Amino acid sequence: MILIVGLGNPGEKYQETRHNVGFLILDSLLKKLTSVEKSVWEENTKLNSLIARVGEDLVLAKPLSFMNAAGEVVAKLVNFYKIPPFGLYLVHDDVDLPLGKIKISLDRGSAGHKGVESVIENLGTKNFVRVRVGVGKDRRIRTDRFVLLPFGLWEREKSRGVVKKAVEVVEVILQEGAERAANRYNQ
């Protein structure tokens, strides 16, 4: 069983922000994997998540907690679905990467990302795959504020491209494994 969790913040207010890249990627991935235009996300109040099952062995989840508390939700999901650490894939924004850059990481620290920090703390391990999606950085704006901003007009086209590329990366991870995907995309 594989669990792919996209990190973001719930609510319409945050829908198109940089911090919600994980949610945007999972929405696109679900459409591509199921060839269904209408969303098949189901709210699971017990697991505090939107959940989508794809076949027998793949679960997609979007935690309905705020980013900084995502670890509690991810731990519930991992326990409920009995996911081993190597079966967890976390998709999230990364301000340390330029907009459009994607990196696959395994067994790494949070690098200051509060959502990832929460996941590591609640799972008691960093031994899981992370798909880090670059959202850029503006040094004039505090990071905690910057990630809650929507992409600028000039960035929107590129952000759509990065979502599409990230879906491709996740598909390669699922088909060929994280190491091969990292060799192909981590440049």
Q: What is the pTM of this model?
A: 0.93
Domain 2-185, CATH 3.40.50.1470 — does that match? yes
What's the rounded mean pLDDT across residues 162-187?
Answer: 93
3-class DSSP state of 78 = helix
What's the rounded mean pLDDT across residues 36-54?
Answer: 87
Opening angle at CA 114, ends 18 and 178, nearest 5: 75
Catalytic site positions: 19
Domain ranges of the chain: 2-185
Kindly report the average pLDDT of the chain as a whole number. Answer: 92
pLDDT of 86 reads 85
CA distance 47 to 7: 15
List pLDDT tens digits, range 55-101.
Answer: 889 999 999 999 999 999 999 999 999 998 789 999 999 999 999 89
Please, which pLDDT band fits residue 39 given cuts at 50, 70 and 90?
A: low
3-class DSSP state of 100 = coil
